[in-house]
Amino acid sequence: MHEAIIECCQNSFFIDALKRLDRLRRLIDYRQMLDRNSARERCREHIELLDLILAGKNEEASRYMARHVQDLSRLKIVAREQRG
């Protein structure tokens, strides 16, 4: 979903950077599992983000996306630390 959104900006640098980050993220995700409640929350956040975009609230959507990615990064760090 993140890639589809970033492709709307038509900036090849951003698109390529996000694709590289997503490949790295997937590699890390395969090594750890987040609980189902967390996955549901991420899906709810994706829907909220899409609602902001569809409403034309691009700046708010941008801030929301940054917060979403930061929050997920923190969750992954905690999960990794708990795994030992």
Predicted confidence at residue 35, as pLDDT, reads: 64
User: What's this model's pTM, rounded to 2 decimal places?
Assistant: 0.62
pLDDT tier at 42 (50, 70, 90 boundaries)?
A: confident
Whether residue 75 contacts residue 38, with contact meaning beta carbons closer than 8 Å, is answered with yes
Q: What is the mean pLDDT of residues 8-16?
A: 86
Beta strands in 1-84 (DSSP E): none
| Angle, helix 58-83 to helix 36-54, in steps of 10 degrees | 170
Give the whole-angstrom CA distance, residue 50 versus residue 65: 10
